[in-house]
């Protein structure tokens, strides 16, 4: 499944389209032929000029390049780069698909018609991926949400969300 099939071609800001394309190419060149959520995260961490990276730096993850390498290290430890038999089509893993679809919803809840990098970051925070990968930095959903809103000035109008701790990290995915 390509980006257009997953969320539609006009639903992504150019930076997010670049991130998704990077994840697809990574799946292809790694010969896994399946996009995993960590591939999308690697694309997100690729450029420090993205709003999402700036928010992560605001929250204490100051070495974005180091964070990128940390994701790769975690991947190698978990043996996540298993080559598969060739297939002419790259597919989306369930978790990666949920992250991208969650980002679309976060963009909508922020009043945007296109997904921004910070919407991807919100989806990663909601899925608890950030706290698992970077336990030394408090990247909880509430903290990430507050930092994004502070940096961008855009408020997320989340349904049924009262700012309390999440019962389920996948509440919005």
What tens-digit pLDDT sequence spans the chain (173 residues)?
A: 455 555 555 678 899 989 998 998 888 887 778 888 888 999 999 989 999 999 999 999 999 999 988 888 877 655 556 666 666 778 888 888 899 889 999 999 999 989 999 999 999 999 988 988 899 999 999 999 999 999 999 999 888 765 544 444 444 54
Distance (Å, rounded) from C-alpha 163 to C-alpha 146? 10
Distance (Å, rounded) from C-alpha 75 to C-alpha 59? 23
Give the N- to C-terminal CA distance of the chain in Å, as an integer: 19
Coil vs helix vs strand at 141: helix
pTM over 0.95: no
CA 35 to each of CA 5, 95, 128: distance values in angstroms, whole numbers, following the listed order: 14, 9, 18
Tens digits of residue pLDDT in 47-66: 899 999 999 999 999 999 99
Where are the extended beta strands (E) located within 28-88?
A: 34-35
């Amino acid at each position: 499944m390509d980006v257009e099939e997953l969320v539609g071609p006009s639903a992504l800001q150019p930076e997010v389209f670049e991130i998704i394309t990077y994840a697809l190419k990574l799946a292809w060149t790694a010969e896994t032929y399946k996009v995993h959520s960590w591939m999308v995260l690697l694309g997100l961490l690729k450029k420090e000029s993205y709003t999402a990276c700036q928010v992560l730096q605001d929250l204490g993850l100051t070495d974005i390049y180091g964070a990128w390498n940390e994701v790769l290290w975690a991947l190698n430890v978990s043996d996540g780069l298993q080559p598969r038999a060739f297939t002419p089509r790259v597919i989306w893993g369930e978790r990666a698909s949920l992250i991208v679809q969650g980002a679309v919803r976060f963009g909508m809840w922020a009043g945007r018609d296109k997904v921004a990098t910070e919407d991807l970051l919100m989806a990663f925070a909601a899925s608890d991926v950030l706290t698992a990968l970077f336990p030394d930095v408090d990247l909880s959903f509430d903290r990430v949400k507050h930092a994004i809103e502070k940096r961008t000035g855009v408020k997320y109008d989340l349904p049924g969300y009262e700012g309390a701790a999440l019962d389920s990290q996948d509440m919005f995915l």
